[in-house]
Structure 1
């Protein structure tokens, strides 16, 4: 009789990536969230206090009242045409001009990434990824058997000059298939890629013939500085570059992640193949969720609600920044973001973020140690602090005060 999961795994002939899979290091921390009084800087969750609950409920009721069959029946794999038209209008506001046939509604933007990997990445294929990077992207690419090649970043995102040298030095036989980046308020660093670097990335994608993935879940969450056009919009002005950029958008951070509504924008050849891959994945994204999202977007509530979210996140970031300066100025240095949900920090004095986390948990505060965001050669002193999900500025200050106690207890 099998007595444990390890022994049970010997019963099955799992595929190579799943013989000894590693789960999300971040989600391993979620068990601490149920602890009474815990203050979390860990999860990349939007604030539950900022959901437009009334607006979403009204949109769901209107969707069901207007056409209950459309909500309950199977739908178009590409997504409901009315929702796609609403997203096209949303993208027009972001300076991206596309038609609905260029767009697929996905079950969260993570599904879009998964579909793209399925159609483009075979085991052993080289893939470029900014470092540090979004862990779920690292995980998805590793499970696909990709050979991950980290790309250096600085306080403005991908270092394009270093990337150019890196690409020119690569063996032509190791031509990368993809480059993954979150160019606006990156996860985990909070950095934003300037226009010049965005245009240079698009040109590099065209020159070296790799697909540039622009993952943009946080772009609307700007609380300081001037807006920057998405790479896919800038690529339109560069002859030949448009077909090499794939854009992923999402309502998770600006409406609600529970809707699971994301979208991809890509060339016709890529879009057609992603549709076939999606047919075998989930047939279609939840029609009820799609109709709810459609009515919400058409109501105009999003344009009214995003400034509310942005203002709240601005206050929480300012509280975090002020608390870090007040309580731990000699212990932690950090990158100043212009928006988004994260502060990327580093412990001074050769301290290890994973070690400090153990003492932080004893003080009822958690964060994510930086190694979770690296392919290899991780900065063991780095850490991601998410200010978005904290209930308010007072809790942010209290969380940093507890972090100070953890640092002092070594």
Structure 2
């Protein structure tokens, strides 16, 4: 057999939807986070020192000793019943839910891909907050959807702008993160949630509600999902995840839905990965049954609150006049807009050289990006490290005067 000689290395043909995607913002986040010479605020990466390691290890040991043969076997696409029951129990605090309404996914990121596979056709419009979670945009885009950003303010998406976008674009669905939003950290007040629900109900547009951070409250307050409002449960796909509460390594989340779409989600899940890891599902179920997750989350949230305070105090004096920075009541992220004339992407290279990294905000916009913005996660590092690194970041920003 003669192998043809070429001057260039072979390039495997890829689908058009992935053309030009040799990298991704998520891949770049983890690359920055792995650099030992850089204090990275780029990723929403929990501090491993806060993991409930002893309790999680005990749950794995129990599952493998008591249910080992089942745990290491294939499972069902819908998810193991014990985990679905525990997920339904937690959701029922705000929204009556039973196990049959839960579909387990390998984290909420896979959940986004599963629902995109199940719901979207090429050319469909998805309305998203401006800005929004960048990996959701990616998941929807590779299925051929077109994202339209809807105006937001400090209370989240603006209802009037949402209704106007619906009337103009006739979207397939809206995707929102109402509580401790990624990337801004903003939270919709109850009145805003009710106004948004009213728009969606009147226009008949279904909602994908992403809630991976809602339990990480710094005030002790909690916010019921939009899905819990009258009429919204049946027209909302609600995503939750254990990644930020227990451990991202177990890759377990779920979608809550009602009606025939549950069967479609199971079929889509089966086509993508057959089922999520059974041993991880049973371990998470055991953890939710036997451990005090609420107490653990309260401890973690207290630490995160101290780190938010450290970042907020450190960053305020180093931002240029007219800059705007959020002060989140929970979650993992702070959002800074430096103002017109600044380019956070251009500043990043010098920041990394100074040993500090963040994520430029432009990648979180479906359209019309604000290049002056940056997302900073405060959860991974101690207050002392945060204060030192933000000080160095401020020196870098000062070296890039407004254009």
Say yes or no: TM over 0.5: yes
CA–CA distance in structure 2, aligned partners of residues 135 and 22 of structure 1 = 16
Q: What is the CA-CA distance between 1:261 and the residue it aligns to?
A: 0.5
* Corresponding residue of 2:65: 65
Q: Is 1:273 matched with 2:264?
A: yes
Q: What is the CA-CA distance between 1:97 and the residue it aligns to?
A: 1.0
Q: What is the CA-CA distance between 1:373 and the residue it aligns to?
A: 0.4
Partner SS state of residue 273, structure 2: coil
* Corresponding residue of 1:345: 336
CA–CA distance in structure 2, aligned partners of residues 104 and 67 of structure 1 = 22
User: Does the aligned pair in 2 maintain the 1:259–1:289 contact within 8 Å?
Assistant: yes
Q: What is the CA-CA distance between 1:360 and the residue it aligns to?
A: 0.5
* Corresponding residue of 2:140: 141
User: Does the aligned pair in 2 maintain the 1:24–1:135 contact within 8 Å?
Assistant: no
Q: What is the CA-CA distance between 1:226 and the residue it aligns to?
A: 3.2
Partner SS state of residue 207, structure 2: strand
* Corresponding residue of 2:150: 151
Q: 1:82–1:331: structure 2 CA closer, same or farther, 3 Å change rule?
A: same
Partner SS state of residue 238, structure 2: strand
Gaps of 5+ in 1: none
Partner SS state of residue 10, structure 2: helix
CA–CA distance in structure 1, aligned partners of residues 290 and 7 of structure 2 = 55
* Corresponding residue of 1:292: 283
Q: 1:29–1:283: structure 2 CA closer, same or farther, 3 Å change rule?
A: closer
* Corresponding residue of 1:388: 379
User: Does the aligned pair in 2 maintain the 1:26–1:372 contact within 8 Å?
Assistant: no
With 69-78 and 347-356 compared, the bigger mean Cα shift is at 347-356
Partner SS state of residue 255, structure 2: strand
* Corresponding residue of 1:259: 250
Partner SS state of residue 202, structure 1: helix
Q: Deviations over 1:127-148 (max 9, x none)?
A: 1111101010011111111121
User: Does the aligned pair in 1 maintain the 2:89–2:98 contact within 8 Å?
Assistant: no
Q: 1:29–1:88: structure 2 CA closer, same or farther, 3 Å change rule?
A: closer
With 241-250 and 253-262 compared, the bigger mean Cα shift is at 241-250
Aligned length: 396
Q: Please report the TM-score for the alignment, with normalisation by the length of structure 1.
A: 0.92
Q: Is 1:118 matched with 2:113?
A: no
Q: Is 1:90 matched with 2:81?
A: no
Q: Please report the TM-score for the alignment, with normalisation by the length of structure 2.
A: 0.94
Structure 1 segments (4+ residues) deviating >6 Å = none
* Corresponding residue of 2:10: 8
Q: What is the CA-CA distance between 1:75 and the residue it aligns to?
A: 1.1
User: Does the aligned pair in 1 maintain the 2:55–2:291 contact within 8 Å?
Assistant: no
Question: Superposed, which structure 2 residues align to 1:229-244 within 5 Å?
Answer: 229-234=224-229, 237-238=230-231, 241-244=232-235
* Corresponding residue of 1:249: 240
CA–CA distance in structure 2, aligned partners of residues 334 and 77 of structure 1 = 42
Q: Is 1:334 matched with 2:325?
A: yes
Q: What is the CA-CA distance between 1:165 and the residue it aligns to?
A: 2.5
Question: Superposed, which structure 2 residues align to 1:14-29 within 5 Å?
Answer: 14-21=14-21, 23-29=23-29
CA–CA distance in structure 1, aligned partners of residues 146 and 22 of structure 2 = 17
* Corresponding residue of 1:54: 54
Q: Is 1:164 matched with 2:166?
A: no
CA–CA distance in structure 2, aligned partners of residues 294 and 112 of structure 1 = 18
CA–CA distance in structure 1, aligned partners of residues 264 and 219 of structure 2 = 39
User: Does the aligned pair in 2 maintain the 1:331–1:349 contact within 8 Å?
Assistant: no
Q: 1:117–1:252: structure 2 CA closer, same or farther, 3 Å change rule?
A: same
Q: 1:79–1:30: structure 2 CA closer, same or farther, 3 Å change rule?
A: closer
Gaps of 5+ in 2: none
Q: Deviations over 1:174-211 (max 9, x none)?
A: 52111111110000010111212222322322332222
TM-align CA RMSD: 1.8
User: Does the aligned pair in 2 maintain the 1:72–1:287 contact within 8 Å?
Assistant: yes
Partner SS state of residue 376, structure 2: strand
Q: 1:302–1:2: structure 2 CA closer, same or farther, 3 Å change rule?
A: farther
* Corresponding residue of 2:213: 218
User: Does the aligned pair in 2 maintain the 1:175–1:208 contact within 8 Å?
Assistant: no
CA–CA distance in structure 1, aligned partners of residues 67 and 36 of structure 2 = 43
User: Does the aligned pair in 2 maintain the 1:189–1:384 contact within 8 Å?
Assistant: yes
* Corresponding residue of 1:189: 184
* Corresponding residue of 2:37: 37
CA–CA distance in structure 2, aligned partners of residues 82 and 179 of structure 1 = 31
* Corresponding residue of 2:198: 203
